[in-house]
Amino acid sequence: MRMHRVWAFVLVCGALALPLSRTARAAEPTDTCDHTITSLPVVTSGPGTWCVTADLSSSLAATSLITVGYPGSVLDCLDHLIDGSGAGNASTSRGIVVSEVDDIVIRNCHVRGFSSGISVEGSRIVVEDNLVEHPLYSGIEVIGNAYTIRRNRVAAVGGHATFHTALGINASGSGQIVDNDVAGVDATAGGAGTNNGIAVTGLGGVAIVGNRVRGIGAGDTGSYGITAFGDSTQRVSIRGNDIVGEGGIGSQGMSCTGSNQRARNNTISGFTTGIQACGNSAGNVVRP
């Protein structure tokens, strides 16, 4: 009898320790929402956490759908979809925008379509746990200092009617780009264009660590897995990334301004040149 009680206790505790279902986890953050977003376009105008509580769409072709306008606030989409694909392939709309506002967090957003999926400018910005698919020009763009871009998925970038460049993640300033997936970057499938998986410019010290970049189209004016351009005296660490391209004349797996941008323990394949001008700090594996 005593043993039965012990096993009953263990089973109950084990049940309590089981992970919540996806539905239960998705609903959890609503308890911390200070404001809700139920229609587009919208400009957030106060402190706290702003939550998207349903899938939303718009066919507006030249606007910003969600503008985060208050410093120190959070946008949490709770994994809901923000869909701008109805605006067509000449759209200049942006899905989520921060314009010169600091200390913003953008998380759990599923963004589809738009010229740029997430486009932010400000200091101490965090962009995390988002899915950005089918942006026509760029997936995630960040300008500022002390930024963090982590655990995002960017897929199927390119296809704009007039922009012949495709960028998975594009950042300017200082910060870190960690543990992201970039899959499929091709400005114009099978045609002209410059394709770049992850690009950093205007450097103030950047770590690019543990990202997976693949499906970088050959283009005809340039194909790059990871690039670090800017002042050659600025230090950049490019570590532990997996980078896969699709060939193309002059394509480069990693391309840097100078040896202060250092590469270590990266695996690179499918480019004409594996590592161009970066300081090679050993442990890199380059395959055809």
Q: Round to whole Å and give the CA distance between 255 and 274.
A: 8
The answer to whether residue 1 is domain-embedded is no
Whether the bond between 135 and the residue before it is cis, its omega within 30 degrees of 0, is no
Strands 273-276 and 236-239: unpaired
For residues 117 and 164, is the Cβ–Cβ distance under 8 A?
A: no
Residues with Cβ within 8 Å of 25's Cβ and at least 6 positions away in sequence, in order, are none
Q: Round to whole Å and give the CA distance between 261 and 256.
A: 6
User: Token digits for 32?
Assistant: 């911390």
The answer to whether residue 173 is domain-embedded is yes
Q: Round to whole Å and give the CA distance between 283 and 55.
A: 44
User: Token digits for 107?
Assistant: 């998380």
The answer to whether residue 28 is domain-embedded is no
pLDDT, one tens digit per residue, over 157-171 is 999 998 889 999 999
Q: Round to whole Å and give the CA distance between 88 and 268.
A: 34
The answer to whether residue 89 is domain-embedded is yes
| Residue in this structure with the two tokens 């738009």, named with its chain if needed | 114
The answer to whether residue 17 is domain-embedded is no
The answer to whether residue 181 is domain-embedded is yes
What is the reported pLDDT for 8?
Answer: 38
Containing structural domain, residue 198: 35-287
Tell me the H-state helices in the chain: 2-17, 22-27
pLDDT means per 10 residues, the chain with 288 residues, are 39 38 45 94 96 97 96 98 96 97 98 98 98 98 97 97 94 96 86 88 88 92 91 85 92 92 96 92 91
pTM equals: 0.89
- Above pLDDT 90, what percent of the chain? 75
The answer to whether residue 24 is domain-embedded is no
pLDDT, one tens digit per residue, over 112-127 is 999 999 999 999 999 9
The answer to whether residue 29 is domain-embedded is no
Q: Is the sign of the CA dihedral 80, 85, 87, 90 positive or negative?
A: positive
Distances (CA, A) of 211 to 7, 144, 243: 44, 20, 8
Whether the bond between 19 and the residue before it is cis, its omega within 30 degrees of 0, is no
What is the reported pLDDT for 189?
Answer: 58
What is the reported pLDDT for 22?
Answer: 34
Compute how many other C-beta atoms are within 10 angstroms of the C-beta atom of residue 130.
28
Count of structural domains within the chain: 1
Check residue 266 and report its DSSP letter.
-
Three-class SS of residue 250?
coil
What is the reported pLDDT for 33?
Answer: 97
